[in-house]
Amino acid sequence: MRLIHYCIVLVFLLSLTSCTTTVYYVVRHGEKLNDTDDSPLNDDGVSRAKVLADVLSNKNISRIYVSDKQRTQQTAAPTAARFNLEPIIIPKPDTDLLIQELKDVNRANVLVVRHAEEIHRIVNALSPSDTIGLIPNEYDNLFVITKDVILGQTVTHLTRSRYGDP
């Protein structure tokens, strides 16, 4: 009987140590000043970046991924400053590389700031059971993907919310 009790306790303890949670916060960069390839943010985009930092202020962000375009870096800058982080730059054409790197992240809260044509690919890759389509003209979407790994099984959940003014 005592052996059975110890086995139950051991299985319980192993289950606690075998659970990890990763949370991805995926957003499009803020509003841009113009249609040039490397346009900076306009005033609305700068304001939205500050709102994003406020929204994420209690999320313990430990990694930030941006593209090589200044508008993604400017959108992430207030959050990076708040958490004293240096964003990881993965060039815009390397979406597949970014997705693979994100899938390899464990036990972290991650901000991902990318471009309209990438957001649906990233969200769908990280949360295959909850998919979204292309969203070209919206800047206020905040996609939260929670990835739990429990005893080797991965469970994801997607929540879509909004931040800042539409």
71, part of any domain: yes
Range of the structural domain that residue 117 is part of: 20-162
Examine the pLDDT at 13 and tell me if it is beyond 60.
no
Band (4; pLDDT cuts 50, 70, 90): low
**pLDDT the model gives residue 10:** 46
Residue pLDDT, tens place only, 36-78: 999 999 999 999 999 999 999 999 999 999 999 999 999 999 9
Distance CA 64, CA 87 (A): 5
Band (12; pLDDT cuts 50, 70, 90): low
By DSSP bridging, strand 153-162 and strand 141-150 are: antiparallel
Look up the CATH number of the domain holding residue 99: 3.40.50.1240
Structure tokens at 34: 């113009």
Number of domains composing the chain: 1
What is the DSSP-derived secondary structure letter of residue 59?
S
13, part of any domain: no
DSSP for 65-127? Answer: EE-SSHHHHHHHHHHHHHHT--PEE--TT-HHHHHHHHHT--S-EEEEEE-HHHHHHHHHHH-
* Side-chain-side CA neighbours of residue 132 (13 Å): 25
1, part of any domain: no
55, part of any domain: yes
Per the CB < 8 A criterion, the answer to whether 50 and 40 are in contact is: no
